A and B are shown apart, each in its own frame.
Chain A
Amino acid sequence: MSEIEIKNLTKKFEVNKQMVTALDNISLSIEKGDIFGIIGMSGAGKSTLVRSINYLEKPSDGQVFIDGVDLGKLTGRELRKKRSEIGMIFQDFNLLEQKNVLDNVCFSLEIAGTKRKEAREKARELLKVVNLSEKEKAYPSQLSGGQKQRVAIARALATNPKILLCDEATSALDPQTTDSILQLLKEINEKMNITIVIITHQMSVVTRICNKVAIIDAGVLVEEGDVDKIFENPQSDAAKELIFDKKIRFTPVSSLKAKRAIRIVFNENSAYEPVISNLILKHQVLINILKADTRNVGGKAIGEMILGLPDQEKVQESIIETLKESGLSVTEVSEDV
């Protein structure tokens, strides 16, 4: 069985005396060592989903298994013990404002009943890992956002968890700080062999460090799989919306004077061929490049391009044919993606 197994999870809330389904029959398997991204627009239910993994939110229906143990069958005490084996970090860091950095990291150990001296040693060790040793006497109010998140990470790791849940952990941080925190998470995943579940609304976070991704839209799991595959060839509308970033939507395809537009994705093999030049020479048509970008997807360079096709339908079809023959993934782009 997978390390985290979510089976037919449904969560309903009562809002203004009406039942609202926040999560609808979600099943997911997260394997040991994964960095698993759960992505969706705000309000999609992803925060509720991550809170189901440590039972901060009890499902209305369905089960959550951690290492084969059904959380719904545990007593209060057993559940608390299990929670201490699952670290969690948050968008707002949630540090104790009245305790200094060292005591904040010790806090999770204190909860677990570790002796003070032992806890301090462990905390100092972890502050070294997150590169904050010189700040152990500082209070959270004296730290930057990135430093606070590092303290929160050290605190979450203090109890030697096997799983780390990240709820929008980089959403309150600037791009550089986000990068350094993601880098740190990746190191933790590799060096400590900790499974990481990341909740985010930023595709860049997923492409940067996740190997698997699940896309949640209005409480429903719409797509799931390897990040590079989904990035190359998104199927669901929600996935397309998240992957074709907002710039395209701000420039409607129609205003770029192309009746039909397609998105092609280059992987490492196809990136060396002069695909567009070949296309123009072969079909003797004008092709309009509406957008082009290269992204780092899980360490691989992947290029994407949005092309405006000529008006004749026959030509359009043969162009798409040619592109597919050269091993590229081709997706239609409509105005409203």
Chain B
Amino acid sequence: MFDSKVIQMILIGIKDTLYMTLVSTALGYVLGLPFGIILNVTRKDGLIPNRVIYGIGDFICNIIRSVPFLILLILLIPFTRLIVGKSYGSTATIVPLVVCAAPYIARVVESSLNEVDAGVIEAAKAMGASNIQIILKVLLVEARVSLFNGAVITTGILLGYSAMSGTVGGGGLGDIAVRYGYYRWQTDIMIVTVILLIVIFQIIQNVGNKLTIKIDHRKR
């Protein structure tokens, strides 16, 4: 059953899953982090309150987040084709994963930055800090534990979503589970992939938790 071909396939599946998860998390942050910062600073009690910008950002965020991922995956097929050139495979899956992750990340970032003590921001203002300096040197620094924690949770969610994309030929462990486990009734392969997904998830979460404690200087 588990000949070298299958093992090879599973190894590639692990590699593809990690590739999709990590790259989409990274690209998700490229879009979501600035988006979240904008949401945070333009909110009513933010650094530069702006009802119009916040309203638009808030609306976009809610719209994308309310579409179920599987539907988003299908809706975005033309867009994915435009960017990657094809709509299947692990690289193509990254597109809907990023689109799905960015507004979620924005929300996580928005609320993380909100935890920063208003007094510290006021102190920075009193020192003559500009808004950019406050964002870069106060908000992002003081909220880093919460931001990192958010990133760990996001990675875990994207790992799950990357597996879901297997239903439409997304590649990775989810793809293997669907093709072999579901279409061909090979339950053993499905169980192996599920166990591998659990193990990967555990590793991400545990390493994340350890690092979170390590970078936090608030309580020792």
Contacts and interface: CB of A to CB of B under 8 A. Distances in A.
Interface string B134-160: 000110011011000000000000000
Contact of A111 (B128, B145, B218): B128
Contacts of B124: 107, 111
A110 interface: yes
B217 A54 contact: no
Contacts of A159: 127
Given A54-B126, A83-B125, A98-B141, A142 B220 contact: yes
Nearest to B123: A94
Contacts, number: 76
B217 A97 contact: yes
Interface in A48-106: 54, 56, 76, 79-84, 86, 88, 90, 92, 94-100
B219 A141 contact: yes
Contact of A56 (B126, B141, B216): B126
Contacts of B129: 80, 111
B188 interface: no
A83 B128 CA distance: 5
A83 B122 contact: no
B130 A83 contact: no
A207 B35 CA distance: 52
A88 B117 CA distance: 17
Contact of B137 (A80, A111, A155): A111
B218 A141 contact: yes
A244 interface: no
A60 to B, nearest CB: 18
A112 interface: yes
A308 B130 CA distance: 60
B120 A96 contact: yes
B217 A139 contact: yes
B188 to A, nearest CB: 48
A111 B127 contact: yes
A108 interface: yes
A110 B137 contact: yes
B119 interface: yes
B137 A100 contact: no
Interface string A154-169: 0100010000010000
Interface in A11-54: 54
Contact of A94 (B122, B141, B144): B122
B216 to A, nearest CB: 8
Interface in A265-298: none
Contact of B127 (A84, A92, A100): A84
Interface of A: 54, 56, 76, 79-84, 86, 88, 90, 92, 94-100, 107-108, 110-112, 139, 141-142, 152, 155, 159, 165
29 contacts: A56-B125, A80-B128, A82-B128, A83-B125, A83-B126, A84-B128, A86-B126, A88-B126, A90-B123, A92-B117, A94-B117, A94-B122, A95-B120, A96-B120, A96-B142, A97-B120, A97-B218, A98-B142, A98-B218, A99-B141, A100-B217, A107-B124, A111-B129, A112-B127, A139-B218, A141-B219, A141-B220, A142-B220, A152-B123
Given A92-B117, A99-B217, A111-B133, 13 more contacts: A83-B127, A83-B128, A90-B119, A94-B122, A96-B138, A96-B141, A98-B144, A98-B145, A111-B124, A139-B217, A139-B218, A141-B217, A142-B220
